[in-house]
Amino acid sequence: MRVIISGGGTGGHIYPGIAIADALKKAFEEINQNIEILFVGAEGKMEMEKVPKAGYRVIGLPIRGLQRSFSPKNILENLKFPVRLFGSLNQARNVIKEFKPDVVVGTGGYASGAVLQVATTMSIPTLIQEQNGHAGLTNKILSRQVDAICVAYPNMESYFPKQKIQFTGNPVRSDLKNLPHAVQSDFDYFNLMKGKKTILVMGGSGGAKVINEAILNGLETILENDFQLIWQTGKFYIDAIKKQLAQKNLLNHPHLFVNDFIYDIKKAYQCADTVVGRAGALTISELTLVEKPAILIPSPNVAEDHQTKNAMALAKEDAAMLIKDNEANERLIPTLIYVLNDENQQEKLKNNIKTFARPDAAKDIARRVMELGKLYPTIF
């Protein structure tokens, strides 16, 4: 069987694709059959680095998204969009003709729409994996043409044809299931101490300015309360933050680990007593699986404000704390102190968030892919 998985631009589109690929690979190993998987992403985007690290081949298309702000640079980029789109559609057609996939899966991002569009015109079975509770315009348009749609949230009939929908949840890495308790070696990875209450802060691979500012402004308070911190700043903020930490004589503090990216997120989750982050679909899905108390600060700079909707789905069930982006500087540190000092609140958040978990999402999507490829698995 041959499968193309297309998506990227952000981790929220890349890692679900990798999780689906891993589930397919495992399924075919168990039935002693071969599968070949090819990723198609966008040139210069993070999938061109992350996918090969996961062990898969990736091809980049010259596609770029439309820029929403109207700076002279962005206006010029938008004028190039039709040419890039035409080139990407043409290249996608060539890739599909050469690879001859049995099924094409789209996980969102710049390249996904082009590849799915071409695949549907070539009568190749197609599947959309929609991560959010609010579908984007591209997926809504493509939903009329694709064969199957796997969704992360119930009640998506207002966006997609009901007969095509399968509620699977979002696929996440299999090693986050049944997360063991942290041991000293896990804390050693971050040069921190076992036994201290630990905060994990994540703002995505690029970083979140508001979250970083709130943590930086409240760092002395965090440390004075005898908490320790694992802090992923994002690549755009690490240099400035390290400079400010050095000015405060905190850069080498024994209760602080700071880096642009956390390469072993499993260890970070194991060590964390509570997690601060945005409310992207991937973050939400991971948090439901690792069962950690979470303080979510949705990004306002996303289509249709879908992160707020993601976070509200948890907050209304007391499964996470929700802080608005413009209130983070005022409310984040007091909320952290409250959660970390209240064992009952921690237990309530943990018990409620795990009810949202869909641990077999990747396996369920892999099963649907195999069915579309006319391979009806008996191993699931």
Has residue 137 been placed in a domain? yes
For residues 20 and 70, membership in a common domain is answered with yes
Mean per-residue pLDDT for 106-119? Answer: 92
pLDDT digits (tens, 9 = 90+) for 175-212: 888 889 999 999 999 999 999 999 999 987 678 999 99
For residues 38 and 161, membership in a common domain is answered with yes
Sheet holding 256-259, edge to edge: 256-259, 228-232, 198-202, 274-277, 294-296, 321-322
| Nearest to 104, CA basis, from 87, 113, 116 | 116
Tell me the H-state helices in the chain. Answer: 11-30, 47-53, 72-79, 81-99, 110-121, 137-142, 184-189, 209-224, 238-247, 265-271, 281-290, 306-315, 328-341, 343-353, 361-372
For residues 155 and 109, membership in a common domain is answered with yes
For residues 62 and 204, membership in a common domain is answered with no
Lowest-confidence range among 73-82, 100-109, 371-380?
A: 73-82
β-pairing, 2-7 vs 36-42, is parallel
DSSP string, 148-189: EEEESSS--TTTS-GGGEEE------GGGTTPPPP-HHHHHH
For residues 105 and 231, membership in a common domain is answered with no
For residues 364 and 342, membership in a common domain is answered with no
**With bands split at pLDDT 50, 70 and 90, how would you rate the model's confidence at 171?**
very high
Q: Coil, helix or strand for 282?
A: helix
Has residue 365 been placed in a domain? yes
Distances (CA, A) of 377 to 34, 220, 364: 14, 55, 11
Mean per-residue pLDDT for 211-218? Answer: 97
Supply the pLDDT for residue 10: 81
Supply the pLDDT for residue 79: 53
Q: Coil, helix or strand for 202?
A: strand
Residue 148 has pLDDT above 70, yes or no: yes
pLDDT digits (tens, 9 = 90+) for 289-315: 999 999 999 999 887 788 998 899 899
The two structure tokens encoding residue 369: 């892919």
CATH number for the domain harbouring residue 182: 3.40.50.2000
Range of the domain at 165: 2-172+359-372
Supply the pLDDT for residue 136: 79
Has residue 275 been placed in a domain? yes
**Separation CA 274–CA 214 (nearest Å):** 16
Has residue 147 been placed in a domain? yes
Number of domains in the chain: 2
Has residue 233 been placed in a domain? yes
**With bands split at pLDDT 50, 70 and 90, how would you rate the model's confidence at 276?**
very high
Has residue 380 been placed in a domain? no
Has residue 379 been placed in a domain? no
For residues 168 and 306, membership in a common domain is answered with no
Backbone angles phi, psi at 295, to 5 degrees: -115, 115
For residues 182 and 147, membership in a common domain is answered with no
For residues 111 and 235, membership in a common domain is answered with no
Supply the pLDDT for residue 82: 60
For residues 116 and 243, membership in a common domain is answered with no
The whole model's pTM is what? 0.84
For residues 167 and 187, membership in a common domain is answered with no
Taking the CA atoms of the chain, what radius of gyration do you get in angstroms?
Answer: 21
First to last CA, the chain: 17
Supply the pLDDT for residue 308: 93
Greatest distance between any 2 Cα atoms in the chain: 62
Has residue 32 been placed in a domain? yes
For residues 23 and 132, membership in a common domain is answered with yes
Give me the residue label for tokens 């490829």: 373
